[in-house]
A and B are shown apart, each in its own frame.
Chain A
């Protein structure tokens, strides 16, 4: 079993829909990252959080440390949001970054 699990693996939605991507992890962590990867490979760090909730524009990230679960929400989704979204955790103790397998999001106009 992977230390970091994401769901769904693939998600297709219509423009304007509210999107939720989930991340569950099985190890103790000091922080969790949400990353966005567009075709071509470039990765952008969206959020880094260790508790609570963060918001940036139409993106919201939440984390529940007790339940070992984080969610990434996109409001009023747009075709330019189409990308792979990757959850990554910093293992508490060895400080290594472990990645989920990613969620491929496609927003249809």
Chain B
């Protein structure tokens, strides 16, 4: 069974641009969660999607958004990029979601660098 796939693995952007990251969950998993990891803040929860609906969100500005498609694949978008958005962005999938006491299966992440 294929694992969680994130694309691209690496991305370099400049301030003010926007970026879209993609996550394909494990087949059959309906929940996709996104996380940001930085050296200063560690891992932080961005949002969770389930059946094409945002079910939960963390404390990030509106520049961070996402969506989920009918095949459970998810994208996250960051607009008007800032230097502080440089981070490793991880997604994780599970059958039913974070609140259902199920293991989260993580992708390898997309490393975003803002110049």
Q: Which residues of A contact B (CB under 8 A)?
A: 30-31, 33, 35, 40-45, 48, 50, 86, 88, 90, 94-102
Q: Which residues of B contact A (CB under 8 A)?
A: 33, 35, 37, 42-45, 56, 58, 88, 90, 92, 97-99, 101-106, 108-109, 111
Interface of B is mostly: strand
A109 CB to closest chain B CB (Å) equals 27
Is B102's CB under 8 angstroms from A30's CB?
A: no
Interface of A is mostly: strand
Measured CA separation A33–B45 after assembly (Å):
14
Taking a contact as CB atoms closer than 8 A, the residue among B43, B98, B105, B106 that contacts A95 in the complex is: B98
Known: A48-B102, A100-B42. 11 other contacts (CB 8 A): A30-B99, A33-B104, A35-B106, A43-B90, A45-B104, A50-B101, A90-B99, A96-B56, A96-B98, A99-B42, A99-B43
Taking a contact as CB atoms closer than 8 A, the residue among B56, B99, B108 that contacts A41 in the complex is: B108
A-B contact count (CB 8 A): 58
Q: Top 7 closest A-B pairs, CB basis?
A: A95-B99, A99-B43, A43-B106, A31-B101, A41-B109, A45-B103, A42-B108
**Closest B residue, CB atoms, query A99:** B43
Measured CA separation A102–B105 after assembly (Å):
18
**Closest A residue, CB atoms, query B59:** A96
B108 CB to closest chain A CB (Å) equals 5
Measured CA separation A33–B43 after assembly (Å):
13
Residues of B within 8 A of A97 (CB): 33, 35, 45, 98, 104
Is A88's CB under 8 angstroms from B43's CB?
A: yes
B31 CB to closest chain A CB (Å) equals 11
Residues of B within 8 A of A41 (CB): 37, 88, 90, 108-109, 111
**7 A–B contacts, CB within 8 A, in A order:** A33-B104, A42-B109, A45-B106, A95-B98, A97-B33, A99-B42, A102-B42
